[in-house]
């Protein structure tokens, strides 16, 4: 063990010297060529990459001074500070870098944002101009620097000059140009502000978020009834939009608090950073996304929409502790936020194998809500169904089906959900009727087709019809392992064993740890004369954690007697 530790330490030292220190003068090596410093540096980097910001900060802070010989250190240290929300500390560190002529894009950005927040626009402009002058091939950095310099310049420009700057934004950033044009009109209190909001939200791109901004703008200028109408019509198009749902409740309760003001420069820049963070998150660049999110929160700390993306980023990196903390904070911002947070926390509890806790949380929250719209009830019913609470789910689905018309977008889902629930408690006639009804209203639901067809196959009925349906489902959802498995199983039941083996082999490749798929493939192999391979897959299923007892018992019989 000691030899191993020594070897690892030696390897780290060699790597550190080769990658970072060889080009440097010997006098810079003295402090940082010891194993513990090298270990701290690599630990800090790895933890930062894993979005463990507290731990990363702990290791990187020990290495103050390393930026003299290794510029990347200052960048990583700044990311740790910003991602912990330590903006003031990041500002102080950035000033140190500036005094030592070691500034970088992130340090200039931090100083500019600090001065912007503190309404020192001249100093903010100085640092944003430095950003603009930095040579970079990064499209993101160019967008950020151009946008910041534009907005901080508007203080000294008339509207026409400001609009000319916005109109010079590259054509590939058309959506961002449209958003900034709306904010520009609002910022200058233009008479065309409402017109530009209308033009933006009518575009084909999903600008549902800006329906909320438009509504808050209308309420700010005293057009409360118009704001209410806008929120209601927007929710018909975007019924699950968190901001709109909460604002509807706020307007009803005469709570006109506006957490976003497009005449507040800090708020506008915060939203531009949010757009940046959202784009980075969609590319799974969560640490970079959190960097810009924390700057957004610093500039507009009361806008809880940013917390939703922040928690989602932590969820996607499996940092459930941080995600739950954020959802707990969000749950205090109104009933829409409360329900959203409960759903997200319940999802985390399920991931943590705390099913009872998840059920208790979401059930208590649903009961607590003073207003339950049909989408809230649908989500609750779906959660119950997905967690084996079938009788309770049936009651809620039935209530929904009685309330809504067949043309409502929730109708086929409610019928499908109730049908699945009926099937799981053994009431097949009711299940079949609901599944057929769901497909009658919306015939291209691949997973409903699959569920119904597979159920028929298992019952030994309508197998030829099931095969045709499954071919349609496979065309609708290509490469879906569940549908491919059902298609292969239908062919097996029709004794088309060679064709069956082809599809079931594909399903096994897509879902190698699924017990049922492996069992089906074993059966197909047996019928194709490959009995040794069949037994291999059956034995494999016996060792799978998720294999049910009944399945294992059947496989044990097959291992003795075959098919």
Please write down the HEC assignment for all residues of 265-293.
HHHHHHHHHHHHHHHHHHCCCHHHHHHHH
> If 0-12 CB within 10 Å is exposed, 13-18 middle and 19+ buried, where does residue 119 land?
exposed
Start-to-end C-alpha separation, the chain: 52
**Inter-residue contact 262 to 268 (CB < 8 Å):** yes
DSSP characters over 128-150: HHHHHHS----HHHHHHHHHHHH
Per-residue b or e along 298-336, where b marks 16 or more CB atoms closer than 10 Å to that residue's CB: bbbeebbbbbbbbbbbbbebebbebbbebbeebbebbbb
**pLDDT for the residue 36:** 63
* Whole-number Å distance between alpha carbons of 482 and 488: 10
Both structure tokens of 430: 């009711």
Q: How many CA atoms lie within 13 A of 326 on its CB side?
A: 21
**Inter-residue contact 327 to 311 (CB < 8 Å):** yes
* Whole-number Å distance between alpha carbons of 160 and 168: 13
* Whole-number Å distance between alpha carbons of 380 and 397: 10
Taking Cα atoms as reference points, which of 424, 436, 501, 433 lies closest to residue 466? 436
SS3 at position 477: coil
Q: What phi, psi does 156 have (nearest 5°)?
A: -110, 15
Both structure tokens of 175: 């959506």
**pLDDT for the residue 246:** 94
Q: What is the pLDDT along the chain (563 residues), one digit of tens a residue?
A: 444 444 444 444 444 433 443 343 334 434 545 556 677 777 777 878 777 888 888 888 887 777 777 778 888 889 999 999 999 999 999 999 999 999 999 999 999 999 999 999 999 999 999 998 887 777 888 888 889 999 999 988 999 999 999 988 887 888 888 999 999 999 999 999 999 999 999 876 778 899 999 999 999 999 999 999 999 999 999 999 999 999 999 999 887 677 899 999 999 999 999 999 999 999 999 999 999 999 999 999 989 889 999 999 999 999 999 999 999 999 999 999 999 999 999 999 999 999 999 999 999 999 999 989 999 999 999 999 999 999 999 999 999 999 999 999 999 999 999 999 999 999 999 999 999 999 999 999 999 999 999 999 999 999 999 999 999 999 999 899 999 999 999 999 999 999 999 999 999 999 999 999 999 999 999 999 999 999 999 999 999 988 999 999 999 999 999 88
CA dihedral of 299, 302, 303, 306, whole degrees rounded to 10: 70
> If 0-12 CB within 10 Å is exposed, 13-18 middle and 19+ buried, where does residue 180 land?
buried
**pLDDT for the residue 16:** 40
SS3 at position 563: coil
Q: How crowded is residue 458: how many other Cβ atoms within 10 Å of its Cβ?
A: 12
Q: Residue 74 gets which letter from DSSP?
A: H
Please name each of the domains of the chain with its CATH number.
1-103 (no CATH), 480-563 (1.25.40.10)
pTM score, whole prediction: 0.86
Alpha helices in 168-256 (DSSP H): 174-187, 193-201, 208-220, 224-237, 242-252
6-to-36, 38, 59, 298, 314 alpha-carbon distances in Å: 12, 13, 21, 44, 35
SS3 at position 202: coil
**pLDDT for the residue 31:** 52
What is the distance of C-alpha 57 from the center of its chain?
A: 25
* Whole-number Å distance between alpha carbons of 313 and 307: 10
**Inter-residue contact 53 to 84 (CB < 8 Å):** yes
* Whole-number Å distance between alpha carbons of 542 and 392: 33
**Inter-residue contact 144 to 131 (CB < 8 Å):** yes
524-to-104, 300, 478, 489 alpha-carbon distances in Å: 62, 60, 22, 9
**Inter-residue contact 184 to 166 (CB < 8 Å):** yes
**Inter-residue contact 111 to 98 (CB < 8 Å):** yes
DSSP characters over 238-266: -TT-HHHHHHHHHHHTT----S--TTSHH
**Length, in residues, of the chain:** 563
Both structure tokens of 335: 């009933």
Q: Break the chain down into helix, strand, coil percent, rounded to 5.
A: 75, 0, 25
Angle at 273 between CA 270 and CA 276, to 5 degrees: 155
Residue 24 makes CB contacts below 8 A (sequence gap 6+) with: 69, 70
Q: What phi, psi does 562 have (nearest 5°)?
A: 75, -160
Sign of the CA dihedral with 516 first, then 517, 520, and 526 last: negative
Q: How crowded is residue 157: how many other Cβ atoms within 10 Å of its Cβ?
A: 14
Q: What phi, psi does 547 have (nearest 5°)?
A: -70, 130
């Amino acid at each position: 063990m000691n030899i191993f530790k020594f070897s690892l330490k030696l390897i780290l030292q060699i790597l550190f010297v080769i990658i970072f220190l060889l080009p440097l003068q010997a006098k810079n090596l003295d402090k940082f060529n010891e194993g513990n410093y090298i270990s701290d540096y690599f630990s800090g980097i790895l933890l930062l990459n894993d979005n463990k910001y507290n731990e990363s900060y702990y290791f990187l802070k020990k290495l103050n001074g390393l930026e003299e010989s290794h510029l990347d250190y200052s960048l990583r240290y700044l990311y740790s500070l910003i991602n912990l929300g330590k903006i003031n500390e990041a500002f102080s560190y950035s000033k140190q870098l500036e005094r030592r002529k070691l500034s970088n894009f992130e340090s200039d950005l931090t100083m500019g944002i600090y001065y912007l927040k503190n309404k020192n626009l001249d100093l903010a402009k100085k640092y944003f101009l430095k950003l603009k002058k930095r040579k970079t091939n990064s499209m993101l950095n160019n967008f950020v620097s151009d946008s910041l310099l534009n907005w901080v310049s508007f203080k000294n420009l008339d509207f026409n000059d400001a609009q000319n700057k916005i109109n010079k934004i590259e054509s590939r950033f058309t959506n961002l140009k449209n958003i900034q044009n709306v904010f520009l009109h609002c910022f200058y209190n233009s008479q065309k502000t409402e017109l530009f909001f209308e033009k933006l939200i009518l575009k084909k791109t999903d600008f549902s978020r800006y329906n909320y901004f438009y509504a808050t703008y209308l309420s700010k200028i005293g057009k409360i009834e118009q704001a209410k109408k806008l929120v209601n019509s927007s929710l018909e198009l975007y019924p699950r939009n968190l901001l709109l749902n909460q604002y509807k409740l706020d307007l009803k309760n005469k709570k006109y608090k506006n957490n976003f003001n497009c005449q507040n420069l800090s708020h506008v820049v915060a939203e531009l950073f949010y757009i940046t963070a959202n784009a980075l998150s969609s590319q799974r660049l969560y640490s970079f996304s959190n960097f810009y999110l924390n700057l957004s929160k610093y500039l507009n700390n009361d806008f809880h929409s940013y917390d939703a993306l922040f928690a989602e980023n932590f969820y996607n990196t499996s940092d459930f502790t941080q995600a739950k903390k954020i959802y707990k904070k969000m749950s205090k911002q109104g009933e829409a936020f409360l329900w959203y947070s409960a759903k997200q926390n319940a999802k985390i509890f399920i991931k943590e194998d705390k099913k009872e806790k998840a059920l208790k949380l979401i059930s208590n929250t649903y009961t607590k809500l003073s207003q339950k719209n049909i989408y809230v009830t649908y989500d609750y019913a779906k959660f119950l169904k997905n967690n084996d609470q079938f009788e309770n789910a049936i009651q809620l689905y039935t209530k929904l089906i009685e309330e809504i018309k067949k043309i409502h977008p929730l109708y086929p889902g409610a019928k499908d959900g109730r049908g699945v629930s009926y099937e799981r408690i053994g009431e097949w006639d009711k299940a079949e009727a609901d599944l057929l009804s769901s497909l009658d209203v919306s015939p291209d639901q691949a997973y409903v087709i699959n569920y119904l067809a597979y159920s028929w196959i298992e019952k030994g009925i309508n197998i030829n019809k099931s095969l045709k349906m499954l071919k349609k489902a496979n065309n609708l959802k290509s490469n879906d392992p569940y549908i491919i498995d059902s298609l292969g199983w239908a062919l097996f039941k029709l004794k088309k064993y060679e064709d069956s083996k082809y599809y079931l082999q594909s399903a096994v490749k897509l879902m190698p740890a699924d017990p049922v798929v492996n069992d089906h493939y074993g059966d197909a192999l047996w019928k194709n004369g490959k009995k040794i391979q069949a037994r291999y897959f059956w034995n494999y299923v016996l060792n799978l954690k998720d294999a049910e007892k009944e399945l294992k018992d059947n496989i044990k019989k097959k291992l003795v007697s075959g098919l």
